[in-house]
Amino acid sequence: MRRFFLMGCAALVSMSVLAQRVEVRKSGEGKIAINLASYRTGSDTASRTFLSVLKADLNRSGYFTVTSAGAELNVAGSCVSSGSRLTADCQVYKVSNRQRLLGKSYKPDTPDPRWLAHRVADDIVYAVTGKKGMASGKVAVVSNRTGRKELYVCDMDGKNIRQITKDRSIVVGPGWTPDAKNIVYTSYKRGYPNVYLTGRSKPLSSHGGLNASGAVSPDGKSLALILSRDGNPELYIKSLRTGFLKRMTKTRRGNEASPCWSPDGNHIAYVSDTSGSPQVYIIPGNGGRSQRLTSSGTENVAPDWGKNGYIVFSSRVGGRYRIAMANPSAKTLRVLETDWADYEDPSWAPDGRHIVCSRTASYRSSIYLLDTLKDSPVALLSGSVDWYSPACSP
């Protein structure tokens, strides 16, 4: 029954990837019960914050249920705050055979309990599952909370929000550099839409016309972006060392938008409307023919190519935007089950399992965490202002 439903979804999106196989979700898969009852903290706020953030991170990871009884794993150790320092140690044991899966001490330079909890959570996820966690990742996001559209960064749990730009202008479409240290974004702070890098006042690109949708390649050497300098919006690759520009598309009747790189840096997925509606295409980075990934009848926009090989994008189905993921080499497609709201601008979380996206309901946009396996969506940023265009650090 479920299989038929999913196939129905796939038919609605009707991807052009032929002979596709619809992935059937693994449902009812159990989580690992993990017990932190014996973990010791002081009575101070910092070490108690550490423990509560750690528990929340483990629950959010999708792999664990934090319990106080009947656990498969026990977490022992302590977190101590003394003066301006916060230290912790952490051991994870299997209850059944007392096998130790993790034993580590932490003496960070920062006294921030959240920072430390996120790292410990990711270490536990990795020690137990062998998979990368997402807790120490960050989300770049745009909000109108000051009345202007500025760039913000928060932790993967939606906390620790910091305003990055004070341009008093318009910020569009942020994305991280591969070292997760800086953010590329489009801003109108000098009148025209130019591409900027955080920590650098001179724009990365300021040609006449449109400069937008900058995306840095995995090796950090190139910038894929949309320029209209030659008379029409097209996809270009700019060398960040020499400034050399390579034009990738020639579609004088169409628009290009939203480039993103494949994990190996050899291909770029982007949006083009040359077919009459915006669809996702893939082009080799060294030039050559582009291939259409998604097909007509609907709109497929805002792709993000994860390290897991899947391209996640926003797909308009039956008048509303949903999140779809496609594997271009295995030729699979899946539309995530979501409610009636519009889900847009998806971005892979660092764990390759979760997706952060915007959810718009009643014309108010907030940021949600979606699980591609089984967990329910979680609101990360919401309230009386708009939050949109999220981008997770790699």
Partner 1 sequence: MNNKICKFLFFAVLAASVVTLSGCKSRKPSADMYGSDNMYGDPLLGDVPLNADNMGLPMDGDRSMFEPVMFPYDSSQVNPEEAGKVEAVAKYLNKGKGQGVIVEGHGDERGSREYNLALGERRALAIRDYLISLGVDASVIQTKSLGEELPASTGHDEGAWRQNRRGVFAIY
| Residues at the interface with partner 1 (CB under 8 A) | 149, 170, 172-173, 186, 188, 190-194, 203, 206-213, 226, 228-233, 252-258, 271, 273, 276-278, 299, 301-302, 314, 344-345, 363, 388-389
Q: Which of 135, 193, 134, 144 is nearest to 165 (CA)?
A: 144
CA distance 389 to 380: 13
- Answer for the pair 325, 311: CB distance below 8 angstroms, yes or no: yes
Residue 300 CA, distance from chain mean position: 18
DSSP string of 72-97, one letter each residue: SEEEEEEEEEETTEEEEEEEEEETTT
Residue 329 CB, nearest approach to partner 1 (Å): 25
Residue closer to partner 1 (CB basis): 123 or 304: 304
Nearer to partner 1, 126 or 188 (CB): 188
Phi, psi of 241, deg, nearest 5: -85, -55
Beta bridge partners of 106: 88
Whichever of 57 and 234 has its CB closer to partner 1, that residue is 234
User: Considering the complex, what minimum distance in angstroms separates the CB of residue 273 from partner 1?
Assistant: 7
Quote the least distance from Cβ 343 to partner 1, whole Å.
Answer: 12
> Least distance in Å: CB of 47 to partner 1?
42
Report in angstroms how near the CB of residue 135 gets to partner 1 at its nearest. Answer: 28
**Closest CB to partner 1 among 23 and 230?**
230
Could you say which DSSP state residue 394 is in?
-
| Nearest Cα to Cα of residue 259 among 298, 294, 227 | 227
CB of 212 to partner 1, least distance (A): 5
Nearer to partner 1, 107 or 168 (CB): 168
Nearer to partner 1, 139 or 210 (CB): 210
Cα gap 152→165, rounded to integer Å: 7
The answer to whether 213 touches 226, Cβ cutoff 8 Å, is yes
Distance of CA 302 to the CA centre of its chain: 12
Supply the minimum distance, in Å, between the C-beta of residue 308 and partner 1. 22
CB 333 within 8 Å of CB 317: no
Give 87 or 255: the residue with its C-beta nearer to partner 1.
255
